[in-house]
């Protein structure tokens, strides 16, 4: 890497080691989406058939958008909005709106994500006094319900989460994020493998039921609505469609192989989700839980697995600590979008930008935090605020953002720029990959997103 380039990156706060940016990107992708959301959404939508659509969306839609975002961010070395302004050759066209929509999506996701993260934090303490640690579904369900129906507990845990995220963000990019993520991801992986092994060995009949639930497809369950949810989950899990990866791409170094590294991130993310599925579904059948029990699934099932293994309590504490790290890594990347934007565009310090962002979130987030208690009957489109934030962000905002990112890269930025970005200005010999990517990002990704969005919204 040349000197000018190095200086340019460092002045914006780069990651300390060359692999650091990739690790942090993985830290953004792997989060509650893998261990909390993926299992319960797969459970609600029929398991295996859903899984197939989800994997196809990840490869044909999620990965191309991720490559696009990282390439754009690395080229422009700026936040999502400035990136679109800098790289847009047609100055009159408002492509920066992608960044603005992304900042909005970040708020919408954070509003409910901080609440779920709050549950995870709370469970660290619940496991210390073993409440909820039981193989009896009624006990674990009650422990969870007690938590989420208490307005004060919900709010306070959300504030704790916002406070911790603020501190990490204020400390800056490389020190905070990279250090935590580097040991968090491998440890989480080991932990999920341990839980999966225990879950798979609980009871042979339950194991085969769990496995066939996850891997034997029943396509009668697939409608457009489910396909949209699968695609939305692919966006959410890879943190794409809203500029997070543009912002993180701006910290990637110029000699990193984007298609190869992003594919590694995608495969690791998929592996963690599948392992989470293997950890949860055999146990669901072994203890008599309901596979479609929704947002509570992880919180009621995993403690039951721990209750049936030696040193279960210690494992449970460790698991929730790791899960809280995973959630925090993802939240940092979410908040980074509006904070980087406010910081760079309005010349407002990181400190002030972070405080303003988090205070706003405490306000909007309370609507989600109180969705299981005092605001349980406050619904729009028949959804509580929690569910509404979740649905709108994953199934509308991210796909729409991703659609425009793909169109921008494929049709406006164009082949020449794509080629230079993906072959690192001629130093990589990856002609075929560049051509395949260009074809997909032009013709496949946008078309699929449009069809699935229209189908999911009931147009045909
Ligand atoms: N991918 C993160 C997860 O799975 C969530 C996320 C979405 C983070 C969008 C950043 C942007 O938990």
Which residue did the predictor score with more confidence, 442 or 373? 442
135-158: average pLDDT: 91
For 171-216, what is each residue's pLDDT tens digit?
A: 765 566 677 777 788 888 898 999 999 999 999 999 999 999 888 8
Least confident stretch, 130-134, 149-153, 415-419: 130-134
For 335-361, what is each residue's pLDDT tens digit?
A: 988 887 788 778 898 899 999 999 999
34 CB within 6 A, ligand 1 = yes
Q: What pLDDT score does 175 carry?
A: 63
Q: 53-88 burial by CB neighbour count: b if 16+ within 10 A, else e?
A: bbbbbbebbbbbbbbbbbbbbbbbbbbbbbbbbebb
Nearest CA to ligand 1 atom 7: 239
284-304: average pLDDT: 90
Mutate to test the pocket of ligand 1, among 119, 333, 340, 399 (most ligand atoms within 8 A of CB): 333
For all residues of the chain together, what is the average pLDDT?
Answer: 89
What residue spans of 30-170 are helical by DSSP H? 32, 38-44, 48-57, 63-76, 80-87, 97-128, 137-148, 151-170
Whether residue 432 has pLDDT greater than 80: yes
Of ligand 1's atoms, which has the minimum distance to the CA of residue 33? 4
What's the CA gap between 233 and 344, in Å, rounded? Answer: 30
Which residue did the predictor score with more confidence, 298 or 5? 298
Nearest to 331 by CA among 180, 190, 183, 192: 180
Nearest to 165 by CA among 338, 388, 329, 400: 329
What residue spans of 250-311 are helical by DSSP H? 258-287, 297-307
Which residue did the predictor score with more confidence, 434 or 309? 434
- Say how many Å lie between the CA of residue 5 and the centre of ligand 1: 29
What's the CA gap between 35 and 305, in Å, rounded? Answer: 15
Q: Name 207's Cβ contacts closer than 8 Å, sequence gap at least 6.
A: 199, 200, 201, 282, 285, 286
Of ligand 1's atoms, which has the minimum distance to the CA of residue 333? 10
Q: Are 368 and 380 in contact (CB under 8 A)?
A: no
Residue 380 phi, psi dihedral angles, 5° rounding: -125, 135
Measured CA angle at 48 (ends 66, 402), to 5 deg = 20
For 111, 162, 258, 352, the CA distances from 359, given in Å and listed in that order, are 11, 9, 35, 11
Q: What pLDDT score does 347 carry?
A: 87
Q: Are 191 and 322 in contact (CB under 8 A)?
A: yes
Portion of the chain with pLDDT greater than 70, in percent: 95
Up-side HSE of residue 179: CA atoms within 13 Å toward CB? 7
Element (H, E) at 383: strand 383-384
Going from N- to C-terminal start, the domains of the chain cover: 3-456
Q: Are 326 and 35 in contact (CB under 8 A)?
A: yes
For 235-283, what is each residue's pLDDT tens digit?
A: 999 999 999 999 889 888 898 999 999 999 999 999 999 999 999 999 9
What's the CA gap between 415 and 438, in Å, rounded? Answer: 7
Confidence of residue 2 (pLDDT cuts 50, 70, 90): very low
What's the CA gap between 303 and 312, in Å, rounded? Answer: 8
Q: Are 231 and 63 in contact (CB under 8 A)?
A: no
- Say how many Å lie between the CA of residue 239 and the centre of ligand 1: 4
Q: What pLDDT score does 6 carry?
A: 52
Nearest CA to ligand 1 atom 6: 239
Query: CB 343: neighbour CB atoms within 10 A?
Result: 18
Q: Are 165 and 331 in contact (CB under 8 A)?
A: yes
Whether residue 363 has pLDDT greater than 90: yes
β-partners of residue 384 are: 379
For 77, 96, 167, 197, the CA distances from 85, given in Å and listed in that order, are 12, 6, 30, 49
236 CB within 6 A, ligand 1 = yes
What's the CA gap between 323 and 90, in Å, rounded? Answer: 44
Which residue did the predictor score with more confidence, 455 or 78? 455
366 CB within 6 A, ligand 1 = no
Q: Are 168 and 174 in contact (CB under 8 A)?
A: no
303 CB within 6 A, ligand 1 = no
Q: Are 189 and 267 in contact (CB under 8 A)?
A: no
33 CB within 6 A, ligand 1 = yes
Domain 3-456 superfamily per CATH: Amino acid/polyamine transporter I (1.20.1740.10)
Q: What pLDDT score does 118 carry?
A: 97
Radius of gyration of the chain (CA): 21
What's the CA gap between 142 and 147, in Å, rounded? Answer: 9
Helix (H, G, I), strand (E, B) or coil at 380: strand
Reduced DSSP (H G I as helix, E B as strand, rest coil) percent helix, strand, coil of the chain, to 5: 80, 0, 20
29 CB within 6 A, ligand 1 = yes
- Say how many Å lie between the CA of residue 220 and the centre of ligand 1: 29
Q: What pLDDT score does 17 carry?
A: 65
């Amino acid at each position: 890497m040349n000197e000018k380039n190095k200086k340019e990156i460092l002045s914006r706060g780069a990651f300390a080691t060359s692999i650091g940016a990739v690790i942090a990107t993985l830290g953004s992708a792997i989060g509650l989406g893998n261990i909390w959301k993926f299992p319960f959404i797969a459970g609600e939508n029929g398991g295996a058939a859903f899984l197939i659509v989800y994997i196809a969306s990840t490869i044909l839609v999620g990965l191309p958008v991720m490559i696009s975002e990282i390439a754009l961010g690395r080229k422009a070395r700026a936040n999502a909005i400035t990136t679109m302004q800098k790289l847009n050759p047609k100055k009159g066209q408002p492509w920066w709106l992608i960044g603005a929509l992304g900042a909005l999506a970040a708020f919408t996701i954070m509003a409910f994500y901080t609440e779920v993260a709050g549950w995870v934090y709370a469970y660290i303490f619940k496991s210390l006094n073993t409440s909820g640690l039981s193989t009896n579904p009624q006990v674990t369900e009650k422990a969870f319900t007690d938590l989420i129906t208490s307005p004060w507990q919900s709010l306070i845990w959300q504030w704790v989460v916002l406070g911790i995220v603020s501190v990490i963000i204020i400390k800056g990019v490389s020190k905070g994020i990279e250090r935590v993520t580097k040991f968090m991801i491998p440890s989480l992986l080991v932990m999920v493998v341990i839980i999966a092994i225990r879950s798979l060995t609980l009871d042979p009949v339950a194991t085969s039921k769990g496995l066939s639930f996850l891997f034997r497809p029943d396509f009668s369950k697939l409608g457009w609505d489910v396909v949209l949810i699968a695609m939305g989950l692919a966006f959410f899990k890879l943190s794409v469609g809203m500029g997070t990866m543009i912002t993180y791409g701006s910290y990637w170094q110029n000699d990193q192989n984007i298609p190869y590294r992003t594919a590694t991130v995608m495969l690791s993310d998929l592996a963690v989700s599948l392992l989470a599925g293997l950890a949860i579904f055999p146990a669901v059948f072994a203890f008599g839980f309901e596979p479609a029990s929704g947002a509570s699934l992880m919180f009621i099932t995993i403690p039951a697995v721990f209750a049936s293994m030696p040193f279960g309590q210690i494992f449970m504490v460790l698991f929730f600590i790791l899960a809280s790290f995973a959630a925090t890594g993802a939240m940092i990347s979410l908040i980074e979008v509006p904070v980087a934007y406010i910081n760079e565009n309005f010349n407002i310090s990181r400190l002030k930008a972070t405080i303003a962002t988090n205070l706003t979130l405490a306000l909007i987030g309370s609507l989600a935090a109180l969705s299981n208690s005092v605001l349980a009957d406050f619904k729009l489109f028949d959804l509580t605020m929690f569910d509404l934030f979740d649905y709108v962000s994953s199934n509308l905002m991210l796909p729409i953002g991703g659609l425009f990112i793909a169109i921008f890269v494929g049709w406006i930025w164009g082949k020449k720029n794509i080629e230079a970005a993906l072959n690192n200005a001629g130093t990589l010999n990856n002609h075929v990959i560049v051509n395949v990517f260009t074809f997909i990002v032009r013709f496949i990704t946008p078309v699929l997103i449009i069809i699935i969005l229209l189908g999911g919204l009931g147009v045909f």
